[in-house]
Structure 1
Amino acid sequence: MASAAEDPERWASDGTGALSLRLARSKAAVDQLGPLEQDLIASFHPKFVYPLFGDEETIYGYEDLDVQLVFNSSTLKNYLSINYTASLPEPDPIEKIIYKYIPSDYTKSEENFQTDLEASGTSKFTPPGKKISSYRSLPSKGKRKSEHFLASKRWERCTTDQMEDEQDVIYELWATNWKTPGFRDYHRRMQILVLFYIEGGTYIEEDDDRWEFVVLFERRKLRSADEDSNPYSYHFCGYVSLYSFYHYPSSIRLRLSQFIVLPPYQSTGHGCKSIDLPTRPWRPSESFEDLRDKEDLKLLFENKVFDEKPLSELIPVSSEWYEATRTKWKLANRQFARLLELALRWKFTALKESDDGKLERLYRIAVKERLYRFNYDSLSTSRRKKEEKNYRILFKMYG
Structure 2
Amino acid sequence: MDEWTIPKASDAIRISLVPPAAFPSASKPQTFHPPLTYQLFENETIYGYKNLAVDLKFRQDDMSPSLAVAYDARLPTDGPSNDSKGDAKVDDVEPLLREYLPADTPSDLDLSESTFTPPGLCVNTYTRKGSKFQIYHSNVDDPIALDIVRRSQILVLFFIEAGSVIDLDEDWVKNRWDVFFLYETLPDNKSALVGFCTVHKYWYFSPAEKTTEGEPAGAEGTDEDRSSSFLGTITEGARFPREHRARISQFLVLPPYQKQGHAKELYNTIVEQYLAGSEVKEITVEDPSERFEELRDVADYTRLKKASLVSTAVAQNLLESRTAAKPWIETQRQLAKMPRRQFMRMVELLLLEHIFMTKSPEIDEQLEKYAMYVKERLYRHNKDILMQLEREERGEKLHETYVNVFEGYLTLLKKLQPDALVGLATSSAVDKRIISGKRPQGNISSIAETGEEDEDEEELEPPSKKKRLGPKA
TM-score, structure 1 as length reference: 0.66
| Aligned positions of 1:237-386 closer than 5 A | 237-243=195-201, 252-257=242-247, 258-263=249-254, 264=257, 266-275=262-271, 276-277=273-274, 278-279=279-280, 280=282, 284-287=286-289, 293-309=297-313, 314-315=318-319, 318-330=322-334, 332-347=339-354, 351=357, 353=359, 356-378=363-385, 381=389, 384-385=396-397
1:143 equivalent in structure 2: none
Distance 1:45 1:300 in 2: 35
Which 10-residue stretch deviates more, 90-99 or 286-295? 286-295
Measured in 2, the distance between the counterparts of 1:364 and 1:17 equals: 48
Distance, in Å, in 1 between the alignment partners of 2:355 and 2:9 is: 42
2:181 aligned with 1:216: yes
Q: Which runs of 5+ in 2 are unaligned?
A: 76-81, 83-88, 207-238, 414-473
Are the aligned partners of 1:62 and 1:87 in contact in 2 as well (CA < 8 Å)? yes
Q: 1:181 to 1:369 in 2, by over 3 A?
A: closer
Where relative contact order (Cα < 8 A, 6+ residues apart) is larger, the structure is 1
List gaps (5 residues or longer) in structure 1: 5-9, 141-166, 226-230
Letter of the 1:132 counterpart: L
Q: Is the 8 A contact 2:55 2:68 kept in 1?
A: yes
CA contact (8 A) 1:211 1:242 kept: no
Determine whether 1:13 maps to 2:2: no
Q: Answer yes or no: is the 8 Å Cα contact 1:246–1:252 preserved in 2.
A: no
More strand by share: 1
Contact 1:243–1:254 (8 Å) recurs in 2: yes
Contact 2:184 2:191 in 1 (8 A): yes
Alignment partners' CA distance in 1, 2:313 and 2:53: 57
Q: Does residue 64 of structure 2 align to residue 73 of structure 1?
A: no
User: What SS does structure 2 have at the residue aligned with 1:306?
Assistant: coil
**Alpha-carbon shift at residue 236 of structure 1 (Å):** 5.1
SS of the counterpart of 2:310?
helix
TM score, norm. by length of structure 2: 0.57
- Conserved? CA contact 1:15–1:53, under 8 Å: yes
SS at match of 2:172: coil
Asked if the contact 2:138–2:180 (Cα under 8 Å) also holds between the matched residues in 1, the reply is yes
Residue of structure 2 aligned with 1:199, choices 155, 159, 162 = 162
Q: Distance in 1 between matches of 2:382 and 2:7?
A: 36
Shift of 1:189: 0.8
Partners of 1:260 and 1:132 in 2: CA distance: 19
Tell me if the contact between 2:180 and 2:198 (Cα under 8 Å) persists in the aligned partners: yes
Judged with a 3 Å threshold, the aligned counterparts in structure 2 of structure 1 residues 247 and 343 are, in CA distance, closer, same or farther, namely closer
Displacement of 1:273 in angstroms is 0.9
Task: Give the aligned partner of residue 17 of structure 2.
Answer: 23
SS of the residue 2:380 aligns to:
helix
Asked if the contact 2:374–2:402 (Cα under 8 Å) also holds between the matched residues in 1, the reply is no
Cα distance in structure 2, aligned partners of 1:273 and 1:190: 21
CA RMSD, 1 decimal:
4.4
Q: Deviations over 1:106-165 (max 9, x none)?
A: 344xxx43xx33x24xx211234xx3233222689xxxxxxxxxxxxxxxxxxxxxxxxx
Aligned CA distance change for structure 1 residues 320 and 385 (closer, same or farther; 3 Å): closer
Residues 264 and 295, structure 2, Cα contact 8 Å, conserved in 1: no
Distance 1:310 1:185, change over 3 A: closer
| Alpha-carbon distance in structure 2 between the residues aligned to 1:352 and 1:63 | 65
Distance change >3 Å, CA 388–CA 61, structure 1 → 2: farther
**Residue identity in the other structure for 1:305:** L
- Identical counterparts, % of pairs: 24
Q: Distance in 2 between matches of 1:241 and 1:271?
A: 11
Question: The residue matched to 2:183 in structure 1 has which SS?
Answer: strand
SS in 2 for 1:336: helix
CA offset digits 1:68-103 (Å, max 9, x no partner)? 533222121224355789877563222221111112
> What is the CA–CA distance in structure 2 between the aligned matches of 1:321 and 1:261, rounded to whole Å?
38
8 A contact 2:53–2:71 mirrored in 1 = yes
Residues of 2 paired with 1:22 and 1:365: CA distance? 53
What secondary structure, in the 3-state scheme, does the structure 2 residue paired with 1:252 have?
A: coil
**Displacement of 1:281 after TM fit?**
5.0
Deviation at 1:388? 1.9
Matched, 1:43 2:32: yes
- The answer to whether the Cα contact below 8 Å between 2:317 and 2:324 also exists between their aligned partners in 1 is no
- Aligned equivalents of 1:325 and 1:398: distance in 2? 22
Q: Amino acid of the residue matched to residue 238 of structure 1? A: F
Aligned match for 2:404, one of 383, 388, 392: 392
1:129-208 aligned within 5 A: 131-137=120-126, 169-178=132-141, 180-196=142-158, 197=160, 199=162, 201-208=164-171
Change (3 A) 1:125 1:267: closer
Query: 1:3-37: CA deviations, max 9, x gaps?
Result: 47xxxxx936355676554433348757557xxxx
Query: Deviation digits for residues 175-211 of structure 1, max 9, x if unmatched?
Result: 2334x34454433212334444263634324223242
Residue-pair matches, total:
341
Amino acid corresponding to residue 135 of structure 1 in structure 2: N
Q: Within 2, Cα distance between the matches of 1:352 and 1:28?
A: 58
